[in-house]
Each structure stands twice: as C-alpha cells, then as structure tokens.
C-alpha cells in the first residue's frame, strides 16, 4: 500500500487520484448491461482514466458544488461525533493506493488496526429518511468493500451525518459493515477486466499518436 497524505479536494488530492481507478467509482467500473457488455457509465469512466494516464493530470471537474463544500465542512463534525459516540479514534490518511498505483481509495479515517470509516453527509431528505427506515447500503457497497480490499481492513463503520435531524436525535447514523471476501473476490475479478480495458485504450491512443 502507498499512503498519500493530503486533504480531500486539494490539488494534491486530485493529483494522487489522476489515472487511478478509485473505490468511489468501482460501482460504475464493474457495471454492465443485461447482455453482460460494459454499461455506458463503465465505458465513460474507462475513457476518463485512460486520458488521465496519458495527460498525467486529473480530468475530474474540480469545481466544488454546494453539496461538495457542505460535505467537506461537515465531515470533521461527523468524525468528532463518531469518536464521541464510539470511543474509537479515526485517523485521517488521505489517499491509499495499491502498490501498482492502479487502484485507490480516499479514506475518511482509519480506526485501530482493523477498521475504517466511510462518511456521507447528504443534503437529500430522501436519502436521510430511507437510511434510517431501511438501512440499505447497496448504493455504497462497492465503495465500502473496495476500501477494505485496498486497505486490508476487516470492517468499516458507515456514517451518515445529518445535523438537520438533530432535533429528533438522529443526526448520526452508524452501521458496521464486515469485510465480505466473496464479494471482494468477485469485484476484484471485474475490476481487473476494467483495468485491462483502460490499458487497451491507453495503448491504442499511443499507437495512433506514434
């Protein structure tokens, strides 16, 4: 593992992620159509990563939306609330890369030797209500399991922080997710297929330019 110490949203953070297949996009990377072909989201992401590897810089939109700024402002409060609630200290560690720098994960915090945290601070009323009512984490499953795969951790505490629900005492939602090696094995196989597709795009672009 390679640890890149940087703060989310900074130029250093974007630079560390350039050309890297990141856990937040694993779901897109492995998504397919009913016939098994790559989805449009998967194709688009493969093109983006390929171009970043050639360009050497991120092609992500670095403009910060209100949602992104809000998330960055609330994340430290969410981390503090988590630490007060659980007694566990979450150490920030920036971006974690695999040794080959093909895959990466932006950690929200490492806890002890075995855990990590994944923080979400949505502004969507629907997401807040649905999380408390259903506890459905399927939307984040690839990111969470991907984070454990890259960091070698055994569990992840998923945190949803919503100060707008503080009047009813539900501003902090925590759900522990255990490492699922069967899920990770299947995901890893699909991710390597995606990585080969990215490299094929890179090779083709270099060949045409030569």
What pLDDT, in 10s, does the model give residues 25-47?
999 999 999 998 999 999 999 99
Q: Are 139 and 163 in contact (CB under 8 A)?
A: no
Q: What is the DSSP letter of 60?
A: S
Q: What is the DSSP letter of 124?
A: -
Q: Which helix (H) or strand (E) holds 159?
A: strand 155-161
- Alpha carbons 19 and 149: distance in angstroms, whole number: 19
In terms of Cβ atoms closer than 10 Å to its own Cβ (0-12, 13-18, 19+), residue 33 is exposed
Q: How far is CA 67 from CA 52, 57, 108, 117, 135, in A?
A: 25, 24, 17, 20, 22
Q: Are 128 and 162 in contact (CB under 8 A)?
A: yes
103 forms beta bridges with 21
Q: How far is CA 106 from CA 3, 36, 90, in A?
A: 10, 29, 14
Domain boundaries, the chain: 8-209
CATH of the domain spanning 8-209: 3.90.320.10
- Alpha carbons 20 and 38: distance in angstroms, whole number: 19
| Alpha helices (runs of H) in 34-93, residue ranges in sequence order | 40-55, 66-86
Return left, alpha or beta for 120; rule: phi > 0 is left, psi -120 to 50 is alpha, else beta.
Answer: beta
Residues ≥6 apart with Cβ < 8 Å to 195: 21, 102, 103
pLDDT in tens, the chain (210 residues): 888 888 787 888 888 898 999 999 999 999 999 998 999 999 999 999 999 999 877 777 655 566 667 667 788 899 999 999 998 888 887 899 999 999 999 989 999 999 999 999 888 778 888 888 998 999 999 999 999 999 999 999 999 998 888 888 888 999 999 999 999 999 999 999 999 999 999 999 888 655
Cα dihedral 164, 167, 168, 169 sign: positive
């Amino acid at each position: 593992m390679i640890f890149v110490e940087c703060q989310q949203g900074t130029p250093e953070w974007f630079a560390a992620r350039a050309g890297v297949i990141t856990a937040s996009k694993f779901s897109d990377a492995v998504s397919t159509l009913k016939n098994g072909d790559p989805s449009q989201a998967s194709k688009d992401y493969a093109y983006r990563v390929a171009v970043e590897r050639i360009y050497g810089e991120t092609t992500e939109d670095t403009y910060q939306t209100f949602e992104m700024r809000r998330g960055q402002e609330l994340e430290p409060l969410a981390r503090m609330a988590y630490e007060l609630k659980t007694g566990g200290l979450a150490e920030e560690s920036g971006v974690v890369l695999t040794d080959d720098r093909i895959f990466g994960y932006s950690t929200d915090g490492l806890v002890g030797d075995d855990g990590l945290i994944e923080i979400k601070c949505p502004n969507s009323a629907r997401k807040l209500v649905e999380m408390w009512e259903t506890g459905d984490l399927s939307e984040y499953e690839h990111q969470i399991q991907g984070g454990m795969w890259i960091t070698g951790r055994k569990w992840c505490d998923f945190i949803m922080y919503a100060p707008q629900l503080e009047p009813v005492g539900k501003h902090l939602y925590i759900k522990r997710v255990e490492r699922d090696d069967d899920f990770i094995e299947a995901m890893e196989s699909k991710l390597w297929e995606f990585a080969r597709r990215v490299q094929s795009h890179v090779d083709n672009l270099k060949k045409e330019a030569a």
